[in-house]
């Protein structure tokens, strides 16, 4: 069912593409109602319009808070065309049908980025705009709603094709997009007010997001997939290479989660299947990469490398020697890009502007959502307690904290072995903690040349409930262990460590990653 457009209301914050709309409205003799800055803009461009206050015979009041909120406007939008009762009520009140509404809202989300002044933000909550949009979208059988300049071209094509009318297909689509927008807009405001009231988990929760892109598929080819962001972008940028996949994104976030907990501009992380397979914080960038790679060079093949520093020509030369899916850097210099872009499929990601404050982790399963704060706290020495008789040196203590930091980013049950602030063995995702110990040890023996005097440190993401895990590590050269406390057998574990002459440090908090 096509619907002839005779009258339109236009109220815009973003007036950038208004000329293209005015031109076609004039062509089909569509009368325009407008107010404020939009009305001035329309007239400045040489088109006619009637001010809202003149149309309603009611002045704007309350410093512009009340402009379009008038029964003449909403009756004109919400009336059912062809309904005798509605027609008679419009005639009785001298109201007119309104067929087209073009609105965008006060930029509340943009205002959040510019100011923390609560009163200013409240004034940037749009009332009239969303109300116009909801009314028009509800009555889409007869009325057309446009909420973004991105829709103008499609609208103009539909109007031209139908000679001044819009199709039911277009109106229904615009209605759906309109309700998406009002839900998004309200959820941004709701999130802001929750933060103002220190409420992390309100009784009702709406998650808002902007579509970044529809992906080729999900984890597997038969699964549909897309990525959304609460911001207008992800905070990192792809510089070259083929499109990122669902699995690429999953690995990228796993790598960045670790990188962001490392010292500033130091450290290399290699990830495969969302688990680290090598991490090093050697201050020498090339050596850092080589040490991370040496932890498990087989798993690193086809993996993702996250460099917590700007990638230079020399680093790029090393990276180009291995087949990788993605390389992340805190920027790339010109020479490094020349080298790495030679591999056309290699995705290069610039994360130099990435910020990660007050973020949430969201996991969905069977139409339910699990929400939690991110486990990205920067560890300090007072988060830990030395419980063994033998005390660690300052260097060993710092290296243990490094091991524990990596360990919390490995899927449970997790064991991480390190030497000189580089991983040398990682065991992940096992139902038995002892099995994770054995995997980490086997990796170490396979890829590392361990000398008698080498100090090997071990980290566990949860406590050892029995002495067997610590015994297995000790038998294979581990001389210091860091783990959370909380087992009913903590005293037995401490006693056993002392009998072995091991250093044992307890974390005051547990750090699982399931």
Say which DSSP state 319 is in.
H
- The answer to whether residues 334 and 427 belong to one domain is no
Under 8 Å CB-to-CB from 303, ≥6 apart: which residues? 251, 270, 271, 272, 277, 324, 325
Domain range enclosing 397: 381-507
Q: Is residue 216 part of a domain?
A: no
pLDDT value at position 373? 80
Q: Is residue 417 part of a domain?
A: yes
Under 8 Å CB-to-CB from 275, ≥6 apart: which residues? 254, 410, 411, 426, 428, 429
Contact, 324 vs 346, CB < 8 A?
Answer: yes
pLDDT value at position 358? 66
- The answer to whether residues 340 and 392 belong to one domain is no
**Two tokens at 509?**
């908090």
Angstrom distance (rounded) from CA 457 to CA 454:
10
Strands (DSSP E) along 222-286, which ranges?
226-229, 237-240, 268-272, 275-280
Task: Tell me whether residue 470 is exposed, middle or buried, using C-beta atoms within 10 angstroms of its C-beta: 0 to 12, 13 to 18, 19 or more.
Answer: buried
Domain boundary among 177, 196, 215: 196
Q: Is residue 86 part of a domain?
A: yes
Q: Is residue 358 part of a domain?
A: no
The single residue listed with the structure tokens 């002459």 is 501
Say which DSSP state 61 is in.
B
Strands (DSSP E) along 387-508, which ranges?
415-419, 422-427, 456-460, 478-484, 503-507
Quote the number of domains for the chain.
Answer: 3
- The answer to whether residues 346 and 389 belong to one domain is no
Does the active-site annotation cover 138? yes
Angstrom distance (rounded) from CA 279 to CA 416:
10
- The answer to whether residues 314 and 439 belong to one domain is no
Q: Is residue 261 part of a domain?
A: yes
Task: Tell me whether residue 451 is exposed, middle or buried, using C-beta atoms within 10 angstroms of its C-beta: 0 to 12, 13 to 18, 19 or more.
Answer: exposed
pLDDT tens column, 200-233: 888 888 888 889 999 989 999 999 999 988 877 7
- The answer to whether residues 269 and 326 belong to one domain is yes
- The answer to whether residues 244 and 169 belong to one domain is no
Angstrom distance (rounded) from CA 500 to CA 508:
23
pLDDT value at position 138? 95
With bands split at pLDDT 50, 70 and 90, how would you rate the model's confidence at 180?
very high
Beta bridge partners of 50: 33
With bands split at pLDDT 50, 70 and 90, how would you rate the model's confidence at 395?
very high
- The answer to whether residues 185 and 46 belong to one domain is yes
Q: In sequence order, what DSSP letters do the residues of 361-388 get, joined into one string?
A: EEEEETTEEEEEE---PPP-GGGEEE-S
pLDDT value at position 310? 96
pLDDT tens column, 63-111: 777 777 888 888 899 998 888 899 898 889 989 999 999 998 888 888 8
pLDDT value at position 486? 81
- The answer to whether residues 336 and 457 belong to one domain is no
How many other C-beta atoms can be found within 10 angstroms of the C-beta atom of residue 446?
11
Query: Would the pLDDT of 164 be above 80?
Result: yes
Domain boundary among 174, 196, 218: 196
Angstrom distance (rounded) from CA 397 to CA 253:
28
- The answer to whether residues 192 and 64 belong to one domain is yes
Contact, 194 vs 371, CB < 8 A?
Answer: no
- The answer to whether residues 276 and 399 belong to one domain is no
With bands split at pLDDT 50, 70 and 90, how would you rate the model's confidence at 357?
low
Contact, 280 vs 288, CB < 8 A?
Answer: yes
- The answer to whether residues 342 and 407 belong to one domain is no
pTM over 0.85: no
Catalytic, out of 31, 40, 273, 313: 273
Residue 458 belongs to domain with CATH number: 3.40.140.20
Q: Is residue 268 part of a domain?
A: yes
- The answer to whether residues 75 and 18 belong to one domain is yes
Catalytic, out of 6, 40, 86, 138: 138
Q: Is residue 422 part of a domain?
A: yes
pLDDT tens column, 267-299: 999 999 999 999 999 999 999 999 999 999 999
Query: Would the pLDDT of 195 be above 90?
Result: no
Q: Is residue 45 part of a domain?
A: yes
Does the active-site annotation cover 273? yes
**Two tokens at 76?**
């004109």
């Amino acid at each position: 069912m096509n619907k002839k457009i005779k009258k339109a209301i236009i109220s815009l914050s973003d007036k950038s593409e208004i000329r293209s709309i005015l031109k076609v409205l004039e062509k089909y003799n569509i009368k325009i109602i407008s107010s404020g800055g939009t009305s001035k803009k329309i007239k400045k461009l040489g088109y006619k319009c009637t001010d809202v206050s003149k149309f309603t015979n009611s002045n704007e009041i309350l410093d512009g808070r009340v402009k379009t909120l008038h029964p003449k406007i909403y009756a004109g939008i919400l009336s059912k065309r062809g309904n005798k009762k509605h027609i008679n009520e419009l005639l009785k009140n001298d109201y007119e049908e309104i067929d087209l509404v073009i609105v965008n809202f006060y930029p509340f989300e943009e205002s959040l980025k510019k100011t923390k002044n609560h009163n200013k933000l409240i004034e940037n909550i749009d009332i009239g705009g969303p109300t116009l949009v909801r009314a028009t979208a509800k009555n889409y059988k007869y009325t057309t709603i446009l909420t973004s300049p991105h829709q103008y071209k499609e609208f103009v094509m539909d109007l031209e094709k139908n000679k001044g009318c819009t199709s039911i297909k277009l109106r229904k689509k615009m209605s759906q997009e309109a309700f998406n927008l009002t839900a998004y807009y309200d959820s941004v405001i709701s999130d802001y007010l929750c933060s103002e009231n220190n409420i992390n988990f309100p009784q009702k929760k709406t998650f808002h997001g902007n579509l970044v892109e529809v992906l080729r598929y999900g984890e597997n080819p038969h699964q549909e997939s897309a990525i959304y962001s609460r911001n207008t972008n992800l905070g990192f940028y792809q510089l070259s290479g083929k499109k990122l996949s669902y699995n690429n994104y999953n690995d990228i976030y796993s790598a960045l989660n670790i990188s962001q907990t490392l010292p500033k501009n130091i450290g290399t992380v290699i990830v495969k299947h969302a688990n680290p397979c090598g991490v090093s914080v050697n201050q020498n960038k090339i050596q850092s990469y080589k040490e991370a790679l040496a932890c498990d060079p087989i798993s690193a093949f086809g993996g993702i490398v996250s460099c917590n520093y700007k990638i230079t020509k020399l680093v790029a030369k090393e990276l180009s020697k291995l087949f990788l899916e993605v390389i992340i850097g805190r920027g790339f210099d010109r020479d490094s890009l020349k080298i790495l872009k030679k591999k056309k499929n290699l995705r290069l990601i610039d994360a130099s502007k990435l910020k990660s404050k007050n973020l949430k982790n969201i996991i969905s399963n069977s139409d339910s959502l699990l929400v939690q704060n991110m486990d990205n706290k920067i560890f300090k020495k007072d988060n830990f307690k030395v419980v063994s008789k033998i005390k660690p040196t300052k260097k060993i203590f710092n290296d243990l904290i490094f091991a524990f930091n990596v360990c919390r980013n490995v899927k449970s049950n997790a064991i991480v072995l390190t030497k000189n602030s580089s991983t040398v063995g990682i065991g992940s995702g096992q139902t038995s903690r002892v099995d994770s110990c054995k995997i980490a040890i086997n990796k170490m023996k396979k890829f590392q040349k361990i000398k008698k005097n080498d100090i090997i440190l071990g980290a566990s993401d949860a406590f050892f409930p029995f002495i067997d895990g610590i015994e297995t590590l000790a038998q294979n050269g581990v001389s210091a262990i860091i783990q959370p406390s909380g087992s009913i057998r903590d005293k037995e574990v401490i006693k056993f460590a002392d009998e072995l002459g091991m250093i044992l440090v307890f974390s005051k908090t547990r750090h699982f990653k399931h």
